[in-house]
């Protein structure tokens, strides 16, 4: 049986590709991508600035919550 996934929590600094990812439940297979602002990257992967969740058939989200952190100035 397919079940909707609950809305995702707001995440510091990261913005969702669709605002409704954090305001309402989502249908199965719907993807929500969160993007860090310019000059920020993922704490555990400095080469990436986004992360993705996909609503699974069991009503849970796949994916991992990440933190956006400022990139160190390189000289």
Please give the pLDDT value at position 72.
63
Integer angstrom CA distances of residue 31 from 21, 26, 63? 9, 9, 10
Between CA 57 and CA 66 the distance in angstroms is: 23
Residue pLDDT tens, the chain, 75 long: 577 999 999 988 999 999 999 999 999 999 999 999 999 999 999 999 999 999 999 999 999 889 999 976 433
DSSP label of 19:
G
**pTM listed for this prediction:** 0.86
């Amino acid at each position: 049986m397919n079940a909707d996934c609950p809305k995702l929590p707001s995440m510091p600094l990261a913005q969702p590709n669709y605002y409704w990812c954090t305001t309402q439940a989502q249908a199965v297979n719907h993807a929500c991508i969160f993007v860090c602002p310019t000059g920020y990257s993922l704490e555990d992967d400095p080469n990436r600035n986004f992360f993705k969740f996909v609503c699974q058939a069991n009503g849970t989200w796949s994916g991992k919550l990440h933190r956006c952190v400022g990139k160190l100035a390189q000289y």
